[in-house]
Amino acid sequence: MTVDVKLFFSSELLDWYRRNKRDLPWRQSKDPYRVWVSEIMLQQTRVDTVIPYYERFMDKFPTIKALAGAPESEVLKMWEGLGYYSRARNLQAGAREVMALYGGAVPDDAPSVAALKGVGPYTKGAIMSIAFNRPEPAVDGNVMRVLSRYFCLEEDIAKARTRVNIEVLAASLIPEGAAGDFNQGLMELGALVCTPKSPGCLTCPVMAHCAGRLAGRELELPIKTKAKPPRPEQRFAAIVEGAGEYAGKVLVRQRPETGLLASMWELPHVLVPGGSGPAAAQAEQPQRGRGRKRAAAAYAAAAAPLGAGGADAAAGGQASAAVRAATAEPAATAAPAPEQAERMALLCRSLAEETRLLVRPRRWWMEAEHVFSHIIWDVQVYLADFGFVLEHNANQAEVLAAAESSGVYRTRQSSDALKASGSAEDQQLDSDRTCLDSHVNEQLPEGYRWIGLEDMRELAFPNVFLRILREYWEERD
C-alpha cells in the first residue's frame, strides 16, 4: 500500500506536538501581541534564554499601548542582554503603527501584519497561524532543516528561492483547522529532535518515512553555503575613573541615534587602525576576593536583568566572553611594557583627536570579545585617569605633548604644591599644566556622563560593555 508521506507527516507531527509540547509562557495565551513579542525575542536566541526576558518584558509592557507609549530607552533597557537590539526598536515601531492604524489591535489580516515594521515572512506566519489559526506557513531555520531532511531536498537553504519553495511546501502540509499547533510542532521538532548536528532520529515521530534518513543523508542535510565570516576589528577602550566629586564613578558615552547599537551607552573606545584579531596583551589572572560575591549581588540588584554570561552567548553565537582581568594595581613607578605603552598612547591620542577628551591610561585591565553578524570586536580595556576636555580651538599637538607628563592630571599634585616644591622637574610639570589649563573646557563632550553602579539600573549597554562594567564593579569591592 502506498503511503501519502505528506499526510503521514502532518498527522504524526500534530499528534506528537499535542502530546509533548513544552509548557512555555507565551503558549498560555493566543493574544497576538504576546505571540508577536515572543517570536521576535526567539529570533536567533534559545528558548531557555528568552523565558525570563519575555516575562519581565510583558510585566513592564503588558499591552501594545504600553509598549508604544514607552520611551525607547526603557524598551532597550528591558531588552538589555538579548542582543540584536534593532529587534526591540522595530517591535516598538510596529506597536506604534498598530496604535496609529488599527486602534491598538493587531489586524487579522496577513498583508497588514506583514507591513508592520520588523515583521518578515516568518513572523507574519507565526502571528497569523498561532494567534488567528490562519493557514500561513512559518518557515525558519528549524523548519527548513526538518523539511529538507524529511523530503531529502538538495536545494541550498541559504538562497531566497529555496526558502520560497519550502514556504509553499510547508503551506501544503498544514492540517485544516490546526495551523497554529502544526507550525509550533514543526518548530518544536527542529528544536528538540531534528537538531543540526545530532538528530534524534530514533525518537522522531516521522522517522518511518523520512527520506533523508532512509538515504543515510540526515547529517548532510540541509545543504547550506557558508556565510562570509565576520570581519575582525580591534578596539581599545578606557575605563576612565573619576576623582574628587566624581570619585567612584566612571565615564561613559551614548552612541548616535542611528547605526550599530544606536542610542545605547558604552565606554569610550577607539578603532585600532589595521587592528585584526586578539591582541597579545598579557596580564595575571584576577585575584578573587571575598568581596566579589557582595559586589555581584549589588550589581544584580542595580543592573538586573543579567543572565549568567549574558544572553548573547546563547544567541546563535552572537557574543562570547574572552575575559582576563588583573586586579592588583601595579606600583606607581612600574612602567608598562613597550607594546602596552604604545597602545595606551594610541588610545590617549585617538580619544583626544576624536572627542577632545584627554585621558591618561594607566594599565591594561582586561580583554573582551563580542561577535556581531558581520564583525568581531576584540576589545582591550585600560584603566585610565581623567584629564581634561579640550577647547575646540586647542592646538592638539602642543596639548598632547604637554599631556605626556602624569603631573598635569587632576588626580595628581595641585599647581600650588608643584610651585612650592621649587624643583626644576616640578616647575616643568607646572608649566605643562598651565599650558593645558589654557585649553580646558569644563563641560564634558556631548553624550558623555559620569555614572556609578546605581546608574546601571537605568542605562542600556551593549553586552560587551555590560560584561566589562560588571567585572569592574565586582572587582572594585
pTM, rounded to two decimals: 0.76
Residues 320 and 289 in one domain: yes
pLDDT(438) > 70: no
Query: Does any domain span residue 415?
Result: no
Query: Does any domain span residue 421?
Result: no
- Catalytic positions: 39
pLDDT(159) > 80: yes
Query: Does any domain span residue 445?
Result: yes
The per-residue pLDDT of the chain, averaged, comes to 82
Query: Does any domain span residue 428?
Result: no
Query: Does any domain span residue 402?
Result: no
Instruction: Supply the range of the domain harboring residue 247.
Output: 231-390+441-476
Query: Does any domain span residue 31?
Result: yes
**Per-residue pLDDT, 193:** 96
Predicted confidence band of residue 393 (pLDDT cuts 50, 70, 90): low
**Per-residue pLDDT, 443:** 80
**Per-residue pLDDT, 151:** 97
Q: What is the DSSP letter of 356?
A: -
**Per-residue pLDDT, 431:** 52
User: Torsion over CA of 415, 420, 423 and 426, rounded to 10 degrees?
Assistant: -10
Query: In the chain, what percentage of residues exceed pLDDT 90?
Result: 59
Using CB atoms within 10 Å of the CB of residue 209, give its burial: 0 to 12 exposed, 13 to 18 middle, 19+ buried. middle
pLDDT(177) > 90: yes
Q: What is the CA angle 6-9-10, rounded to 5?
A: 90
Instruction: Give the mean model confidence (pLDDT) for residues 459-475.
Output: 91
129: cell is 497561524
Q: What is the CA angle 98-102-106, rounded to 5?
A: 60
Element (H, E) at 202: none
Residues 122 and 69 in one domain: yes
Instruction: Give the mean model confidence (pLDDT) for residues 220-229.
Output: 90
**Per-residue pLDDT, 326:** 40
Phi/psi of residue 441, each to 5°? -115, 125
Domain count, the chain: 2
Predicted confidence band of residue 140 (pLDDT cuts 50, 70, 90): very high
Predicted confidence band of residue 44 (pLDDT cuts 50, 70, 90): confident
Query: Does any domain span residue 406?
Result: no
pLDDT in tens, 193-203: 999 999 999 99
The residue among 214, 249, 264 that closes a domain is 214
Query: Does any domain span residue 412?
Result: no
Residues 241 and 176 in one domain: no
Whose CA is closest to 136, among 148, 149, 123? 123
